[in-house]
Chains A and B, each alone.
Chain A
Amino acid sequence: MNERQRIADEEIDRFKNFDALLKKYQHSTTSRTNTGINGLKWIVSILGFVIIGSSVIYLTIDKKQEIVNDEMVKVEPVPAEKTDNGIVTKSIADNEVKQSEAQQKLPTVQTPKQKPTIKKETALPAPTPVYVQAEPLEGYAHLYDYFNTELIYPVAALKDSIQGVLTVSFTINEDGLPENLQYANSLGEAFEEEAKRLILNMPAWKPATLNNEPVSSRLSLPLTFQIQSVKEQTN
């Protein structure tokens, strides 16, 4: 058993390093993607082997069957051997022709089965447009500090003890200004007025960009209105 260690906030802050964390994350996602691609290559290769292998087995069986069939054909004229050797010779010649035909069939069967594998490996990714989300100019930390300090519970609604989350959605236009406010899960007009005041006076935003061109974007923000327990109020 140990007593709780006392540690100053400044000391904890010294260990904080989000940029290093982000680098690790980006590195891990790149490794994962590579692993995924390598995995896919293995699967494709194995699939290729299986297809080629099964084609070879199929053709071998097919060839054997043809030989057996030919032998059966050849067997039929056996009684004739007694009378004419030429018939046997002719049958062997036929058999050789059929075998060479089977060998000629081999590449024509294999080629279409291999094609999808080649297509997958050579397919190029389509170019994607670069979209960057809108973000507060001074960062999210500053923005939520603003909401924490500025949000005021409407006094008019206090008697009804209304609590909850009001979701306000708005557009950040090309100039980085909020407009077109809409409310979901409304708690009442007083709360909407407060949300409107907050949104219209919030710190400036950097608009979203599409290929480096500013574009408007729609965002939604839940605002929590809460009163402390009735017990504490009465105390």
Chain B
Amino acid sequence: MIQTSKTLINEPYLIDQAKLNAEAFRPLYDHYYKTIFLFVLHRVGEKELCADLTSQVFLKALQNIKRYQYKGLPFSAWLYRIAINEINDFFRSQAKQRYVAIEEAQLQALHSELTEEFSLEHLQVRLEELLQRLEPDELHLLELRFFESRPFKEVAAILNISEVYAKVKTYRTLEKLKKYFVGKA
């Protein structure tokens, strides 16, 4: 019934310490490594590549931590934002295939948002083609909101946009998908 915050209990303190001494970044690294690793893995699909990119994310975080300001959002939101930039940079420079990981239940949720006219199997067959037609930022939005079930506040913080705009953009992205799905089915 009673619990302490799920974030690091002394997170602002640890961040302040890390600003003064890079070694003090270790507990933050230990705490968030798995979260960021999985976040990247679900977008690149290869473990070795994911480890390289994750290492790059933490290096960038360490290099820029002096500029980080605590504004009530978890430190993870800032790390996710760096991770998204790293992933975008990677796919821009390498002509690699983008990887999108989806659970069955999340696919069902997306299906119910899009249409009842066509079956779930139909969406499953066409999803790859539909997602390829989205812009990179629209795909990130869809992944964060629908495939990872993150609250809009967090989605907005990760993508560095306002919460209202995150909602509007999600709605527009869904409309776009719907148009492609229903229109071409």
Contact = CB atoms under 8 A, between A and B. Distances in A.
Interface stretch (A15-23, A58-66, A70-78): A15-23
B21 interface: yes
A225 interface: yes
A183 interface: no
Interface string B21-58: 11111110111011001100110010100110011001
A151 to B, nearest CB: 5
Interface residues of B, number: 51
B120 interface: no
B2 A153 contact: yes
Contacts of A148: 4, 9
A2 interface: yes
Interface in A138-159: 139-141, 143-144, 147-148, 151-153, 158
A133 B101 contact: no
B1 interface: yes
A5 B47 CA distance: 10
A16 B30 CA distance: 8
Nearest to A2: B101
A1 B129 CA distance: 9
B62 A25 contact: yes
Interface in B103-118: 103, 107
B14 A140 contact: yes
Interface string A99-137: 000000000000000000000000000000000010100
A5 B3 contact: no
Interface size class of A (residues with CB under 8 A): 35 or more
Given A140-B14, A144-B8, A22 B24 contact: no
Contacts of B37: 12, 15
A228 interface: yes
A225 B3 CA distance: 8
B4 A228 contact: no
Given A5-B101, A15-B37, A147-B10, A21 B55 contact: yes
A53 B58 CA distance: 47
A163 to B, nearest CB: 10
A20 to B, nearest CB: 8
B131 interface: yes
Q: Which residue of A12, A140, A141, A219 has the most chain B CB atoms within 10 A of its CB atom?
A: A140
B87 interface: no
A130 to B, nearest CB: 13
Contacts of A140: 14, 17, 24, 26-27
Given A133-B21, A144-B10, A221-B13, A2 B55 contact: no
Nearest to A158: B2
A10 to B, nearest CB: 11
A147 B14 CA distance: 13
12 contacts: A4-B101, A12-B33, A15-B50, A22-B23, A140-B26, A141-B31, A143-B10, A148-B9, A153-B4, A220-B13, A227-B1, A233-B1
Interface of B: 1-5, 7-14, 17, 20-27, 29-31, 33-34, 37-38, 41-42, 45, 47, 50-51, 54-55, 58-59, 62-63, 99-103, 107, 124, 127-128, 131
